[in-house]
């Protein structure tokens, strides 16, 4: 896990987002145990409180469940919910790209052609 100390994003949010991405991408399976709060805090050289806040955020989103005295476990993920969450990420990234294209003075055709070029370079879309 990579934490950026000088990022504008709080450390607990960086941790939660990385776990969320990994869970939604299937890198953690249902029932899998997340690293202990103390262990993760020690590994990342951060406060236990910061780690706990990240895990609580994941729990509030329904991605994990806390088991008293045992830690946090990954919940089963609804495939339709996963798809919706991924679609929302795509939409957010595309909106950011559109904004950047507008600032750069690109036309709609240039933006669409840039997307097509990028898609051709990604093997899973060929």
Q: Per-residue pLDDT tens for 19-63?
A: 988 887 888 988 999 999 999 999 999 999 999 999 999 999 889
Q: Name the band, by pLDDT with cuts 50, 70 and 90, for residue 86.
A: confident
Rounded Cα–Cα distance for residues 74 and 58 (Å): 9
Angstrom CA distances, 76 to 36, 37, 62, 124, stand at 19, 21, 9, 26
Nearest to 25 by CA among 89, 111, 71: 89
Question: Strand 64-67 vs strand 71-74: parallel, antiparallel, or unpaired?
Answer: antiparallel
The first and second tokens of residue 55, run together, are 């895990």
Closest CA to 17 of 75, 57, 46: 57
Q: Given this model, what pLDDT does residue 96 score?
A: 94
pTM above 0.75, yes or no: no
40 Cβ contact partners less than 8 Å away, ≥ 6 residues apart: 1, 15, 34, 51
> Over 80: is that where the pLDDT of 79 sits?
no
Architecture (CATH level 2) of domain 11-74: Orthogonal Bundle (1.10)
| CA-CA-CA-CA torsion sign (7, 8, 12, 17) | negative
């Amino acid at each position: 896990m990579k934490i950026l100390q000088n990022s504008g994003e709080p450390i607990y949010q960086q941790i939660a987002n990385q776990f969320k991405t990994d869970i939604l991408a299937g890198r953690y399976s249902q029932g899998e145990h997340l690293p202990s709060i103390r262990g993760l805090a020690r590994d990342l050289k951060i406060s236990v409180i910061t780690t706990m806040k990240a895990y609580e955020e994941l729990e509030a989103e329904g991605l994990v469940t806390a088991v008293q005295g045992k830690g946090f476990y990954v919940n089963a993920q609804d495939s339709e919910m996963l798809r919706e969450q991924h679609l929302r990420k795509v939409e957010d990234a595309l909106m950011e790209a559109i904004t950047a294209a507008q600032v750069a003075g690109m036309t709609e055709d240039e933006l669409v052609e840039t997307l097509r070029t990028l898609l051709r370079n990604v093997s899973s879309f060929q």
